[in-house]
Amino acid sequence: MTQHNYEVTQVAGGVPIKTWTRGVAFEDEARQQLINLSRLPFIHKWIAAMPDVHLGKGATIGSVVPTLNAIIPAAVGVDIGCGMMAVKTEIRAEQLPDSLRDVRHAIERAVPHGREMQRNRGGRDKGAWGQLPDDVTLTWNELAEPFARLCDKYPLLKNTNNINHLGTLGTGNHFIEVCLDESDAVWVMLHSGSRGVGNRIGSHFIELAQKEMQRWQIQLPDRDLAYLPEGSAYFADYVEAVEWAQHFARLNRDLMMQRVLNAMSESLKLNFQSRLAAVNCHHNYVSREYHYGKNVLITRKGAVRAGLGEWGIIPGSMGAKSFIVRGLGNEESFCSCSHGAGRILSRTAAKKQVSLEQHIAATAGVECRKDQSVIDETPAAYKPIEQVMAAQSDLVEIMHTLKQVVCVKG
């Protein structure tokens, strides 16, 4: 008999909630958000919560929400298509220099990243790049025509950074890392999404959904649970916009990865093969899937698809391990797993509770920035990744264990 790790909460007036949180912190506020979600009339079967579950805006981060003929824009969120990419290279640990500072600086020069962009240019800019490089322009050509069609319907989308953010990292928990696996092979891993244009798309349709709820006089436990029924005025446009943003996010990761690999080759003075193994997966997105006899819309907010044999990435914090995993196809979770360790401290709380000395000690052995501006991303702000992985042993199997040696934070 299959051993399952989840626990079931029955909800009065709603569908059940299945949580993979044994041995992992799970705050009451997040639990209440899941209860609110479970009471919506179009949820299919149950809500699934991953072990990295924590409080989010509108919908809980680390949740898997199956819906019939409706989408909740805030459940997808504003970082549409945010996800991970990792590639294995033929570089070995012994080929790396003792100091990796030059490698980190080379990566930082190759990929504009959020805090520097904000500090140097402020607000919306031409200047994530200044003059657009050829690889950015070439990549944008694949996105330009469908974006123009969206802008014809929603002109405010033109007033975003769109092409100027393509190939840039962003802020917060977005990162680029150089890692070693269990056999001392070098991997490159990065985390980013659809940047400012995805944020604008998400925010706009969340607002439109809320206005539709007012127009239809639909009362919700949380206004951020406003939804768009299939066939309604904005549903098809939202699906089109989300699919475009997800495509932007995937191409954005591809573009940054190539720039990072080129920067490493130049810095290390090595010609090497990459993509000996490659994984590229979203963890903030919506897709059409078939589960329990129905074609449904699956919204994964801070969760990764883990179908049978599908590869994924579950990163820890900037001082912890990360994992390349393969899905076990567990239908109880709608074939999903966690997208990371999950926050246990808010950014404000981390800055108040963790000293710079503690942060430096927690990131020992990692070439990264060790200053006050990254305290909100310190390892203590996240749940222990080993506990998170143990709680989802029925969802994924670990294929590679990675330990970062370089970390560039947005």
What is d(CA 71, CA 92) in angstroms, rounded to the nearest whole number?
Answer: 46
Model confidence pLDDT, tens digit, residues 357-389 = 999 999 999 999 898 888 999 999 999 999 999
Q: Which residues constitute the domain of residue 322?
A: 7-344+382-409
Model confidence pLDDT, tens digit, residues 183-210 = 999 999 999 999 999 999 999 999 999 9
What is d(CA 389, CA 315) in angstroms, rounded to the nearest whole number?
Answer: 10
Region 321-347 average pLDDT:
95
Q: Residue 32 class from Cβ within 10 Å (0-12 exposed, 13-18 middle, 19+ buried)?
A: middle
Could you tell me how far CA 328 lies from the centroid of its own chain? Answer: 21
pLDDT at 229 over 60: yes
Region 129-158 average pLDDT:
94
Burial 78-101 (b: 16+ CB within 10 A, else e): bbbbbbbbbbbbebeeeebeeebe
Residue 325 lies in a domain: yes
Give the pLDDT confidence score for residue 128 in this predicted structure: 67
Residue 363 lies in a domain: no
With CA atoms as reference, report the closest residue to 277 among 329, 312, 314, 233: 312
Residue 373 lies in a domain: no
Q: List active site positions.
A: 339
Region 314-339 average pLDDT:
95
Q: What is the mean pLDDT of the chain?
A: 93
Residue 208 lies in a domain: yes
Could you tell me how far CA 4 lies from the centroid of its own chain? Answer: 26
Give the pLDDT confidence score for residue 365 in this predicted structure: 92
Question: How many domains, the chain?
Answer: 1
Give the pLDDT confidence score for residue 1 in this predicted structure: 37
Residue 273 lies in a domain: yes
pLDDT classification of 124: cutoffs 50, 70, 90: very low
Model confidence pLDDT, tens digit, residues 269-291 = 999 988 788 899 999 999 999 99
CATH of the domain at 397: 3.90.1860.10
Residue 276 lies in a domain: yes
Higher-confidence position of 124 and 13: 13
pLDDT classification of 102: cutoffs 50, 70, 90: very high
pTM (two decimals): 0.94
pLDDT at 244 over 50: yes
Residue 368 lies in a domain: no
Residue 265 lies in a domain: yes
